[in-house]
Amino acid sequence: GGAPFDSLIAPPNMFYVNNKPYAKLGVIGRGGSCKVYRVLSPTYQVLALKKVKIEGMDKKSIDSYANEIELLKGLKGNPAIIQLEDSEVDLER
């Protein structure tokens, strides 16, 4: 590997969702408690990864994000909707 590739897969540049690695390519957007990143998947797909910080968030807000995940799971396969590839809730981070 070369320097650019090595830095792409360096630990500080990686996200893990259900133990699957995603390399951070850049930030697409940000909101109050979340950031959306452009990432490279293990299958070399460029995807969006939404990372939500739930620390300090009230139950209603947490429930709202959980509901968003469930709605997207239910709409899987609908060509008019952004597809949810995976999701994970990690209360330890």
Read off the pLDDT of residues 51-89 as tens digits, 9 standing for 90 and up.
Answer: 998 888 899 998 999 999 999 999 999 999 888 999 888
Q: Is the pLDDT of residue 37 over 90?
A: yes
Q: Is the pLDDT of residue 32 over 90?
A: no
Given a contact cutoff of 8 angstroms between Cβ atoms, the answer to whether 76 and 84 are in contact is yes
d(CA 44, CA 56): 34
